[in-house]
Structure 1
Amino acid sequence: MTQPWTPDILGEGFEQQTLDLDGGAVATLVRYLGTGSPLPDASAKAGLDADVLYVHGWSDYFFQRHVAAFWHRAGARFYALDLHNYGRSLRPGLVPGFVTSLADYDADIAAALEAMGRTGTPSDRPLILLGHSTGGLTLSLWAHRHPGVASALILNSPWLEFQATELGRRAIAPLVGLHARLHPLAPLPPVDPGIYTRAVSAALDGEWDYNLQWRPDRGFPITPAFLDAVFRGQATVAAGLGIDMPVLVLLSDKSYLQPKWSADALTADVALNVDAVAHRALSLADTVTVSRLPNAFHDIFLSPKPIRTEAFERIGRWLPLALQPVLAQSNAGSLRAHVPPSDGP
Structure 2
Amino acid sequence: MEFREDILGAPYEAAELTLRSDGEGTVCATLVRRPVPGADRAVLYIHGYNDYFFQTHLADHYTALGFSFYALDLRKYGRSLQPHQSPNFVRDLAEYDEEIDEAVRIIREVDGHGQLLVNGHSTGGLVAALWAGRRAGRGVVDGLFLNSPFLSMPAAQAVRTAGGPVVTALGRLAPTRVLPSALNPHYTHSLHKDHQGEWDFDLTLKRAEGFPLFAGWLAAIHQGHRQLRRGLGIDVPVLLMASTRSISTTKWHNALHHADAVLRADDIAAEAPRLGRHVTVVRIKGGMHDLVLSGEAARDQVFAELDRWLAAYLDVQPVGENA
What TM-score range do you get, normalising by the shorter chain?
over 0.9
Write the letter of the residue equivalent to 2:5: P
Within the alignment, does 1:334 sit opposite 2:314 as a pair? Answer: no
Structure 1 unaligned residues grouped into runs of 5+: 33-39, 339-345
What is the match of residue 15 of structure 1? 13
Within the alignment, does 1:163 sit opposite 2:154 as a pair? Answer: yes
What is the match of residue 27 of structure 2? 25
Structure 2 Cα separation of the partners of residues 79 and 149 of structure 1: 15
What is the match of residue 129 of structure 2? 140
Partners of 2:248 and 2:261 within 8 A in 1 = yes
Change (3 A) 1:267 1:41: closer
What is the match of residue 300 of structure 1? 291
RMSD between superposed Cα atoms in Å: 1.7
Partners of 2:19 and 2:29 within 8 A in 1 = yes
Structure 2 unaligned residues grouped into runs of 5+: none
Q: What secondary structure, in the 3-state scheme, does the structure 2 residue paired with 1:19 have?
A: strand
Within the alignment, does 1:186 sit opposite 2:186 as a pair? Answer: no
Structure 2 Cα separation of the partners of residues 219 and 307 of structure 1: 25
Q: Please list the CA deviations of residues 58-117 of structure 1 after superposition, one character each: whole Å capped at 9, or x if unmatched.
A: 010000011111111110111000001000001112111000010000001112122224
- CA shift, 1:10, in A, is 0.8
Partners of 1:316 and 1:336 within 8 A in 2 = no
- CA shift, 1:337, in A, is 5.7
Within the alignment, does 1:173 sit opposite 2:164 as a pair? Answer: yes
Change (3 A) 1:308 1:336: farther
Partners of 1:293 and 1:307 within 8 A in 2 = yes
Partners of 1:27 and 1:84 within 8 A in 2 = yes
- CA shift, 1:165, in A, is 4.6
Q: Please list the CA deviations of residues 252-277 of structure 1 after superposition, one character each: whole Å capped at 9, or x if unmatched.
A: 11000222222221110000101011
- CA shift, 1:242, in A, is 1.6
What is the match of residue 116 of structure 2? 127
Structure 2 Cα separation of the partners of residues 214 and 66 of structure 1: 19
Question: What count of residue pairs does the alignment treat as equivalent?
Answer: 315
Q: What secondary structure, in the 3-state scheme, does the structure 1 residue paired with 2:213 have?
A: coil
Change (3 A) 1:337 1:259: farther
Counterpart pick for 1:274 among 231, 255, 265: 265
Structure 2 Cα separation of the partners of residues 219 and 180 of structure 1: 19
Partners of 2:148 and 2:242 within 8 A in 1 = yes
Partners of 2:184 and 2:262 within 8 A in 1 = no
Calculate the TM-score normalised by the size of structure 1: 0.88
Structure 2 Cα separation of the partners of residues 13 and 236 of structure 1: 38
Runs of 4+ in 1 over 6 A off after TM superposition: none
Write the letter of the residue equivalent to 1:18: E
Calculate the TM-score normalised by the size of structure 2: 0.93
Q: Please list the CA deviations of residues 265-315 of structure 1 after superposition, one character each: whole Å capped at 9, or x if unmatched.
A: 111000010101100011111111111111111000111122212211111
Change (3 A) 1:280 1:91: same
Q: What secondary structure, in the 3-state scheme, does the structure 2 residue paired with 1:71 have?
A: helix
Structure 1 Cα separation of the partners of residues 75 and 238 of structure 2: 26
Change (3 A) 1:191 1:80: same
Structure 1 Cα separation of the partners of residues 141 and 7 of structure 2: 28
- CA shift, 1:167, in A, is 3.9
